[in-house]
Structures are given as C-alpha cells and as structure tokens.
Chain A
C-alpha cells in the first residue's frame, strides 16, 4: 500500500471521505435530507404517498418517480441514467404494495459535485425516504470506488482522482441480506479488479449503514427525549 497522500489529504486508498447528513430541512416536503460526502453534496426531498396522475397509476403499488438535477446546466442522458438506477434501487427497498394507486416522488438536487455523486444521491434518497416515513424493506447504502491508470484501487474518489480512472464502480448494499441492490461499472476492468472493488465497497458500506442508524436514532431521540 502506497503512503502517497490523496488530493484531499486522505492517507489511505481505502479511506472514505467524511460524510454527514441533516434531515427535515424543507418545510413543505414530506421528507428531506442533505447528504454530504467530502465536497459532494446532494439535497433530497421526498413527497408521498400522494395523488398520482391517472396515466401513471398502478393498481397494485405505488409509483416511484425520481428526478435528478445537476448543480448547473441541462439534464443530459447521464442524469436520466442516474434517475433510472436510483429509481430501480429504491423500488427494491420501498414496500410499494402498502400504498397502491399513489405516487412517491424523490427529487435530488446536486449542490456540489466532487465525485461519487451517484452514491451520494442514493444515500440521500434512502435517508429522505426514512424521514418521510415511507415503509421500507431495507436501506440501500451506496459506495463508489475506482481503479486508476496504474491499477491501484481508490475508495470514494474525488473529481480530480476520477480524471485518472480506468474504471469506476458504484455499488449499493442493503442492510438486511447484505446483498447487492445495485451496481454500475464503467470503463475497462478485469474480473479480479471488479471483485476487489466489490469487496472494498461492501466493507465500506457498513460505515454508511452505521450513519443511517445514528442519524435516524438521533432524530428520534431529539424529538422524543
């Protein structure tokens, strides 16, 4: 393991950036969370279960809508892809059968993007759903890691590090089965590299789950004394 310091002063390639979250910031939304991971920050609001447009209505479950907005500029296909990944991941967590013919809308607004924005957005969405009181089967904790051009694995890369990436891997793990809920990998990589990334992210996701617990508990303790 190299002792080289990373651009944001982290010492180890296996070190996550510090993350924290604050909830119930928006007064109109049913649930809202701001999730920060290093200098990447996402604001997430959740509305629902609420009335659904007739053409989207599903008779046996709630419709999950995800809107992903960048900090600046137009929505491109990349954001559309993020919306799809996040929606499919959340659909696996939400007990949508408990609220048929309704809609659950998740809006994600990127505040600052310093790498790993998909993970940050997914974690924000999960916590916002908890804040909104949407019934969930499990919590999806997401972590990103990359393999750089020298073949070294870097956990939770920043935007500067991502410029030298050969492949980037984002995973989401649930807290019940500890299985993979979602995975997005881009770039060229070997099976061995992929498995290394999977293992590293799986271990790192435990600390994200820990944050989910402490933040939910903190909120309840605050209000109920």
Chain B
C-alpha cells in the first residue's frame, strides 16, 4: 500500500460529477468524516485503493484517523497522520530486538501489539546447517513478510527482489532511538532535510524502521549523539521549527568539539 506520495490532489482523477475533495490546499480529516469519492461503480480511471486511516462503510469512504487526506497515483487514497504505536504492514522495514531464541525461529520485539517471528532460514545464505547466530538483545533490521491483523507478524532479512541481504540483518555497534511513526516516514524520504543537513556536517549511517525506531552509527560517540538528538528534537516540533532545532544541536556539537 502506498505510504508516500507527494502528489497534490488532482481533480481529474476524481470520478466525473463528484466534487473535488480539495484542490491544492491540504484537506484535513477527523474520524467520522465522509470522503467525497465514490468507491463502488467507480467510473474513474482506476479502482479506488484505500490506505491507512480510511475505511469503507456502506459504499462510502469514511476517515477513521485524524490527518491530511492524500491521494497517490492510481487513485490511491490514505490519511497522512502520525502516531506512536506501530501496526505492522506488509513490506515495511522495521528495527527489532531479539526477545527469545527458539529452534526454528527468533521472537522479535518490533514495538507492535504482538511480537514478530523471524525464521532462522530467512537470512541470506542460511541453511539447516548454516544458521545465523543472533543473541537475545541483538538489534536487527528486517522486512515485514507477513502482516495480518489476526496473525502474528513475520519478518525476513532477505530483499525479495534480489534474494540477497540488501542491508537487512544484525546491526552492530551504533545506537537506537525511538521516534513517532510520522517522523520515521519523513526520515525515509531521500530528500529528508534533517538527514541532509546532518550529512553536510559529518559522515554517519542510519537504518530507519517504519516502526518508529532509528539506528544511528558514526565515527565517534559525539557524532552518534548528535544525530540521535537531532531526530528526537525534530520529532513533534512545529514544521517551521524543525531545522532551527537541528541547527541548535549541531552548534552544541561544534562547541563540544572546540572544547575537547
């Protein structure tokens, strides 16, 4: 399901005769609001695909979360909002902590209502004989391979396109910080101004989990702390205030480096 998309609402994608939900201004919805698009017998260019925050009720679309109504390509609609609790969704990258080891799988805490299971064979090059060696408490970067509200979520550490690890697996060293899910989505944007600004100042690596966890590693501890702090102060800040706060954190690093 499309989670990202910068396209503004386009009137031409709406079924004819329907009033446009909005032109270029952001439409804010709260739970219970009806979305003025028809989902049954849609005469639009494509079927309407409904994402997070929207619900179908008696042939009508209703918002169930507060946020900005967004439309992506192929008539995909969803509500862009932020929350803290993670609800697993297929294909999302998450950061998890190994909670226990079992014969054929690991149990992993991903911050959702239920712990996820990670099969020992879901790693690159893993066989019955050649198992990954993860300890309880290890941090892993994985992909949600099964997400169903009635079932326990499942993870794997293989990129399905290549069959290779592709960055998934255990994350050694570094530090993990928590943030809101909205913040995690914004950090995943390759044009994310926060990470771009920090990258101008020094080198670091991150792994952003859609479950509101971010792993950070850099050459020195003060640099790791700076990235972690920048993410934390930017989370929940007003949109216009984010970069000012990031600059402030960078100044603190400069002061520290000058004094030591």
A100 pairs with B150, CB closer than 8 A: yes
Point out the residue from A174, A176, A220, A223 that lies within 8 Å of B236, measured CB to CB: A223
A137 in contact with B83 (CB, 8 Å): no
A146 within 8 A of B: no
- Select the residue from B53, B84, B87, B238 with max chain A CB neighbours within 10 A: B84
Give the chain B neighbours of A51 by CB distance below 8 A: 113-114
Interface status of B136 (Cβ within 8 A of chain A): no
Of A7-15, A109-117, A147-155, A209-217, the stretch lying at the interface with chain B is: A209-217
Interface segment among B5-13, B25-33, B194-202: the answer is B25-33
- Contact pick for A31, options B26, B84, B113, CB 8 Å: B84
Q: Which of B65-90 contact A (CB under 8 A)?
A: 65-68, 80-85, 87
Task: Check if A38 is an interface residue, CB within 8 A of chain B.
Answer: no
B193 to chain A, nearest CB (A): 12
Residues of B within 8 A of A24 (CB): 236
- C-alpha gap A52/B240 in the complex (Å): 39
Q: Decide if B31 touches A221 in the complex (CB within 8 Å).
A: no
A160 to B85, CA, bound (A): 41
Q: Is the pair A133, B81 in contact by a Cβ cutoff of 8 Å?
A: yes
Q: Most chain-B CB neighbours within 10 Å: which of A30, A31, A98, A223?
A: A223
- Closest Cβ–Cβ distance, residue B92 to chain A (whole Å): 16
Write out, one digit per residue, whether chain A residues 115-142 have a CB within 8 A of any chain B CB (1) or not (0).
0000000000000001011011111000
Please classify the interface of chain B as helix (H, G, I), strand (E, B), loop, or mixed, using the class held by over half of its residues.
loop
Is the beta-carbon distance between B28 and A225 smaller than 8 angstroms? Answer: no
| A216 and chain B: residue at smallest CB distance | B66
Contact among B28, B64, B87, B150 with A220 in the assembled complex (CB-CB below 8 Å) = B28
Q: Which residue of A lies closest to B85 (CB)?
A: A30
Distance A154 CA – B28 CA, assembled complex (angstroms):
35
Give the number of residues in B that approach A within 8 Å (Cβ atoms).
31
Chain A nearest CB, measured from B85 CB (Å): 4
Beta-carbon contact of A133 and B83 below 8 Å: yes
Q: Are B236 and A99 in contact (CB under 8 A)?
A: no
Complexed CA–CA distance, A130 and B64 (Å):
9
Contact A220–B81 (Cβ < 8 Å)? yes
Q: Which of A102, A212, A225 has a CB less than 8 Å from the CB of B30?
A: A212
Chain B residues positioned under 8 Å from A133 (CB to CB): 65, 81-85
Interface pair A102/B113, CB less than 8 Å apart? yes
User: Any chain B CB within 8 A of the CB of A101?
Assistant: yes
Q: Kindly identify which residue among A49, A138, A220, A222 contacts B32, using a CB–CB cutoff of 8 Å.
A: A138
- Of all chain B residues, the one with the shortest Cβ separation from A126 is B31
Contact of B182 with A by CB under 8 A: yes
B interface residues with partner A (beta carbon < 8 Å): 26, 28, 30-32, 53, 55, 57, 62, 64-68, 80-85, 87, 113-114, 149-150, 182, 236-240
27 A-B residue pairs with Cβ-Cβ distance under 8 Å, sorted by A, are A24-B236, A29-B84, A31-B84, A52-B113, A95-B64, A99-B113, A101-B114, A101-B150, A102-B113, A132-B85, A133-B65, A133-B83, A135-B53, A135-B65, A136-B64, A137-B31, A139-B30, A139-B31, A174-B32, A175-B31, A213-B30, A216-B28, A220-B67, A221-B26, A223-B182, A223-B236, A224-B68
- Given contact pairs A138-B31, A223-B182, enumerate 13 new A-B contacts (beta carbons under 8 Å): A30-B83, A51-B113, A52-B113, A130-B65, A133-B81, A133-B84, A135-B53, A137-B64, A139-B31, A212-B30, A223-B237, A223-B238, A225-B240
Q: 7 shortest A-B CB distances, which residue pairs?
A: A133-B83, A225-B239, A136-B31, A135-B64, A216-B66, A102-B113, A138-B32
